[in-house]
Chains A and B, each alone.
Chain A
């Protein structure tokens, strides 16, 4: 038990300085004599120091899971186990956090207790996909830890890993933000909890991520970092409290208002009047949020709220970085039926992805390969000019059915709008 800790001159350097030190935390755990994880953490610290010395990583994957699930555990076996035997197995349980990442201290303490009993005592809040990362567990204890976390009273479930639906993130939204344009918790839980089979039993061509942001500030980084980004927006006029506009101008001066708000509007939709009230050209406004961010008391989103949906965001592998692109300019989100329509759209896109993507292809790459117009046909969504920055500049296109296609547009414009409506 009284095993001498490894010397860690390099890691010790990371105990200096004012920012909270993860190394100090690791060492506290290694020094917890009598705790079941202390030996594991001593060797973990030793292996990490070894990585700092040699500038190489020493973990390999493998297969570890809990009964009934195919994913959610990240297996890690040490390649340096001869030197550091106690941290030979150091698996992570990816656990889905409550939507919006709200906790009581009571729940956090219970989580700590479980992880003291069965794991390493090290928890990352949170991983890049949004999971609570219970880091460091032996193969034997993975099931025990999960059983306690999943039990009545705790109610946690594993998140996604591998070619599967992944754990989602929603911003703080309705809980504490006046910009929020829909009920993020309802959308987040409504969608993810109806596709849990795709999360727990990986069978998709590759990963698939939903993320939820309450407004175009996109605090959950959804447009780039998810396959299906749900971004709150509104389609009527933004709300302007002219008395508050005047108060803002009086406090900050005209020059600041003109330089920092009026002139920074990307579509020149704002104008400061001679009496220090503000005109908004709502038909030109693109809901970028800048003026609303700056004048939180005077300006706010309109009343007719819903979401824009952008599909296909991802990082570089394999064809290069992609932002999600607009697939649904506006979907009203108010009634139960509206939220059900959002869920159905998610289902349609996942089904399309499952059936049509190549192995290890993200849905953005599939769209790139087949063309956006074909993707829209496949999921039953009509074209809309909000989907493009500008129409094509290449003449290499066959247009012999032009009149037919134009007639569809005019019919839609003249007739009743479908379930999915254009922004204006």
Chain B
């Protein structure tokens, strides 16, 4: 960039127009769809008021794709799916075809090329995930690896539709939780206050901004070894890691103290119940690459308890709402601890102020 003598001014084009890129049947019937059904897992069938029909085949991807993988998807789309694709927010690749006869050969090609077909209806769709060690500046773990390891284990639940309702799993590599809410969420949970490199703080960190960032006012300016730095009241510190991004010398991660926690019952949809946040059910889980077996075991345990006991249409949170938390902890054999009881602002709303007791 420094060598460019005549820098080119950007053309501020913003969000690209999708219509020149859209599958022709989608474009022709834009805003005119009538109903849909699912002929088999991984396939959606939409019918327009015009009588036009389109079949969509949904395939899982690894999200972080090399150009060879993307070109392979393109080759399949060119030969079997009319040259258009779209992606879902969970990194599934969708191929649209205008006749049902094209569905089976397309699925065959995708599966032969190693792309699982599924993720529709009552399945476990692709796990939404964050950057992790591959690219993030503050990661506690590698979401790509956690996701790959878990999707291998619950692969059958992606390609089948056998859950009570759809299951959305998310991962996040720090407590900022870029992965969002999930029926089940696997998120980093720090367990120790940051370790401060006092030699670097004054040069690297904007100290008032760091002090302001702390949710519990546990950080204060201090002079350490004659240098301006910051210190932490470790009794107050909730180990959230909020100070680490604006001040990298306040290292929150360590091999031992960075753990995983599992949360359940998050839901974005408004269907039946209002959207909900996920709730903590297990913590202190080792951050154990390359396949995170301890976290995977707990996720599968919860997933199969739900599969067994959930009623049709109940999302994980709605299932627990019906059976109650005591039964949830019983069915999953997870410990209920003092740490499950919220003490943050608004916590009182999460307490049971009634004689509604599950026995």
Give A contacts to B, CB under 8 Å. 10-11, 13-14, 16-23, 25-26, 28-29, 44, 48, 51-52, 54-61, 66-69, 74, 76, 90, 92, 96-109, 111-112, 115-116, 121-128, 130, 135-136, 139-140, 142-143, 146-147, 150, 152, 155-158, 168-169, 171-172, 174-178, 180, 183, 185, 188-189, 192-193, 196, 200, 216-221, 223-225, 231, 256, 259-260, 264-266, 287-290, 293-294, 296-297, 300, 315-321, 323, 359-360
- B226 interface residue, CB < 8 Å from A? no
Judge whether B1 is part of the interface by a CB distance below 8 angstroms.
yes
A264 proximity list for chain B (CB < 8 A): 272, 313
Nearest Cβ on chain A to B71's Cβ, whole angstroms: 6
User: Is B112 engaged at the interface, CB distance under 8 Å to the other chain?
Assistant: no
20 residue pairs bridging A and B, Cβ less than 8 Å apart: A44-B134, A55-B141, A55-B287, A56-B254, A60-B248, A100-B86, A102-B26, A103-B21, A103-B85, A105-B75, A112-B70, A122-B64, A143-B1, A157-B16, A178-B46, A294-B313, A315-B177, A315-B180, A318-B242, A359-B209
Q: Beyond A19-B116, A140-B3, is A188–B180 a contact (Cβ under 8 Å)?
A: no
Please tell me if B317 contacts chain A, counting CB pairs below 8 Å: no
Contacts A19-B152, A260-B313 known; A100 to B18 CB distance under 8 Å?
yes
B270 CB contacts on chain A under 8 angstroms: 216-218, 223, 231, 287-289
- CB of A59 within 8 A of CB of B135, answer yes
Query: Measured between C-beta atoms, what is the minimum distance from A379 to chain B in Å?
Result: 23
Please tell me the number of chain B residues within 8 Å of chain A, measured between CB atoms. Answer: 121
User: In the complex the two chains form, what is the Cα distance from A166 to B62 in whole Å?
Assistant: 24
- 9 further interface pairs, Cβ-Cβ under 8 Å (given A19-B116, A265-B272): A48-B142, A112-B67, A123-B70, A147-B8, A157-B13, A216-B270, A264-B272, A288-B271, A296-B35
Stretch at the interface among B76-84, B228-236, B326-334: B76-84
Chain B min CB distance to A11 (Å): 7
- CB distance B275 to A223 under 8 Å? yes
Asked if B201 is at the interface of the complex by the 8 Å CB criterion, the answer is no
The dominant DSSP class at the B interface is loop
Residues in B with CB closer than 8 Å to A130 are 89
Is A14 a contact of B290 with CB atoms below 8 Å? yes
Shortest Cβ-Cβ A-B pairs, 10 listed: A17-B152, A25-B66, A51-B133, A193-B14, A67-B7, A216-B270, A105-B74, A19-B151, A98-B18, A112-B67
Instruction: Confirm or deny: B148 has a beta carbon within 8 angstroms of a beta carbon on chain A.
Output: yes
Chain A CB count within 10 A is highest, among B36, B60, B67, B155, for: B67
B13 and A150: CB pair below 8 A? Answer: yes
* B111 nearest CB across to chain A (Å): 10
Does B212 lie within 8 Å of A360, measured CB to CB?
A: yes
Contact B346–A320 (Cβ < 8 Å): yes
Does the CB pair B70–A108 fall under 8 Å?
yes
Closest to A19 in B: B151
Considering the chains assembled together, what is the distance between the CA atoms of A11 and B254 in angstroms?
A: 20
* B105 interfacial contact with A, CB 8 Å: no
Residue from B18, B91, B144 within 8 A of A175 (CB atoms):
B18
Cα separation A163 to B326 with both chains bound (whole Å): 43
User: Contacts A48-B133, A123-B65; is A105 near B85 (CB within 8 Å)?
Assistant: yes
With A59-B135, A224-B275 already in contact, the answer to whether A218 and B269 are too (CB < 8 A) is yes
- Is residue B358 contacting chain A, with contact meaning CB distance below 8 A? no
Q: Is the CB of B136 within 8 A of A59?
A: yes
Of the candidates A51, A90, A146, A218, the one whose C-beta lies within 8 Å of that of B268 is A218
Report if A224-B181 is in contact (Cβ < 8 Å); known contacts: A25-B66, A97-B16, A290-B313: yes
Q: Which residues of B contact A51 (CB under 8 A)?
A: 133, 142
Take A175-B22, A221-B268 as given contacts and tell me if A76 and B135 are in contact as well, using a CB distance cutoff of 8 Å: yes
